[in-house]
Amino acid sequence: MVRLTGSGMHWSDWGWETWWPEYDKPLGKPLGPFKREGAFKFRRSFEHLDVTLDCDGFATTFDWH
């Protein structure tokens, strides 16, 4: 599981020019539409990945399986 915090609010922020290892991992097909939890939290599952996006807390979780 990978947890990222911060939203990359500006192009000059650290990390924009970095090629992250996660970019090379397969997502697979979506297993359904996204699910909303409250006002600002979203989840979506793919064949190889579950993603959680918390727009209020500026956090994202990628859980490969």
8-52 confidence digits (pLDDT tens): 556 667 777 788 888 899 999 999 999 999 999 999 999 999 999
Rounded average pLDDT over 51-63 = 91
Q: Which of 17-21, 33-37, 53-57, 60-64 has the lowest mean pLDDT?
A: 17-21
Residue 26's domain comprises 2-64
The answer on pLDDT for 57 being more than 80 is: yes
The answer on pLDDT for 63 being more than 90 is: yes
**Alpha-carbon torsion angle 52, 48, 64, 54, nearest 10:** -10
Residues 6+ apart with CB under 8 A from 46: 27, 28, 29, 30, 31
CA 46 from chain centre, in angstroms, equals: 12
**Residue the block writes with tokens 């990945």:** 49
45's enclosing H/E stretch is strand 41-45
Tally of domains in the chain? 1
Residue 52 contacts residue 43 (beta carbons within 8 Å):
yes
pLDDT of res. 6: 53
